[in-house]
Amino acid sequence: MISPLFALIPNHPGIYISIIEDENFDCAKELQEYTDSINATLHVNKFNFEQKSYTKHATQYDFLFICTDVDKRNDILEIANKTYRVLKNAGHIFILSKKEFTCRLSEVFEESNFVAINTISLNDEYDVISAKKMHGWKRV
């Protein structure tokens, strides 16, 4: 489902990529195959959104994919803040979003200091929100 986004990831070994996925999607397998092909490191995060932090072993990521129904949650801003902290400066985030929630999610991630927010139409039901963490913006 997310393979069209792989063209946006540079083919450089040593890139750190993470994916947050739930039972509604099966994106980790296709991302694992792609990361293997470019010698990138993939971390599949298994956690609950209520965790204090999403950081594991002080790793920061170049790319983060959120393939879960985050739009159903009441704590979206908190989730955005936590994901902001695990990205490297100039890191990219890709959020799978049902089309009816894309505008709302984009606004929340903008409020959490993500910039260069764009929408990519994935299919009739889903968009992907693309955003970037930039150095020098306020701390979240």
What percentage of the chain has pLDDT greater than the value 70? Answer: 85
| Distance, CA of 66 to CA of 89 (rounded, Å) | 18
Give the model's pLDDT for residue 49.
67
pLDDT at site 50? 67
Reported as type and span, the H/E element at residue 62 is: strand 61-67
Mean pLDDT of 15-34: 84
Q: What's the pLDDT score for residue 137?
A: 55
For domain 14-132, give the fold: Rossmann fold (3.40.50)
Domain ranges of the chain: 14-132
CA atoms within 13 A on the CB side of 46: 2
Give DSSP secondary structure letters for 82-133.
Answer: HHHHHEEEEEEEEEEEEGGGHHHHHHHHHHTT-EEEEEEE-SSSEEEEEEE-
Give the pLDDT score at 22. 75
Q: What is the pTM of this model?
A: 0.87
Average pLDDT over residues 57-80: 87
pLDDT at 133: 94
